[in-house]
């Protein structure tokens, strides 16, 4: 399970596309999750099927999934990703999509800031504990104790 970080997935797509198992491998999403996302309308379209009815993901599908992962990993809800997908199915909505992405970016920045602030508190607490322990250790290190 390769951890996907950037909006490209490092898997060459053979002619005929990738199986759901291969996509799961490449993205780190479970097979069940991939099916769930499809059913939930998070993909632009259901993945194309081969004659036997199995999913065969192409290049475009992977690109979309990479973007989807980017949104989910930055905390966008399933419902909001679905809205983004719905919007992306409508032609000439680039401006609207941009608005959504920028609003999301703002939320992500705010959340990072929020977490960082609490992290500072955590580090203060760690310092306090370190100080207390240093004192105790002094005591214990006393060869006469």
Least Å distance, CB 6 to DNA, is 19
Least Å distance, CB 13 to a second copy, is 20
Kindly state whether residue 70 participates in binding a second copy, applying the rule CB under 8 A: yes
Closer residue to DNA in complex, CB, 63/80:
80
Query: What is the DSSP code string of 74-119?
Result: TT--HHHHHHHHHHHHSTT-HHHHHHHHHHHHHHHHHHHHHHHHHH
Kindly state whether residue 103 participates in binding a second copy, applying the rule CB under 8 A: no
Residue 33 binds which one of DNA, a second copy, none, with CB within 5 to 8 A depending on kind? DNA
Kindly state whether residue 83 participates in binding DNA, applying the rule CB under 7 A: no
Residue 18 pairs with which residues in a beta bridge? 57
Q: Residue 18: left if φ>0, alpha if ψ -120 to 50, beta else—which one?
A: beta
Residue 78 binds which one of a second copy, DNA, none, with CB within 5 to 8 A depending on kind? DNA
Instruction: Give the separation between CA 135 and CA 117, rounded to whole angstroms.
Output: 28
């Amino acid at each position: 399970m390769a951890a996907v970080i950037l909006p490209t997935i490092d898997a060459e797509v053979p002619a005929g596309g990738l199986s759901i198992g291969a996509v799961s491998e490449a993205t780190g999403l479970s097979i069940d999750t991939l099916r769930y996302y499809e059913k939930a309308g998070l993909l632009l379209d259901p993945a194309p099927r081969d004659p036997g009815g199995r999913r065969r993901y192409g290049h475009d599908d992977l690109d979309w999934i990479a973007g989807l992962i980017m949104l989910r990993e930055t905390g966008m809800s399933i419902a909001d990703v679905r809205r983004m997908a719905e919007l992306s199915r409508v032609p000439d909505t680039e401006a609207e999509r941009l608005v959504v992405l920028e609003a999301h970016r703002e939320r992500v920045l705010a959340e990072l800031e929020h977490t960082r602030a609490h992290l500072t508190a955590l580090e203060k607490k760690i310092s306090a504990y370190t100080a207390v322990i240093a004192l105790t250790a002094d005591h214990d290190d006393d060869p006469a104790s």
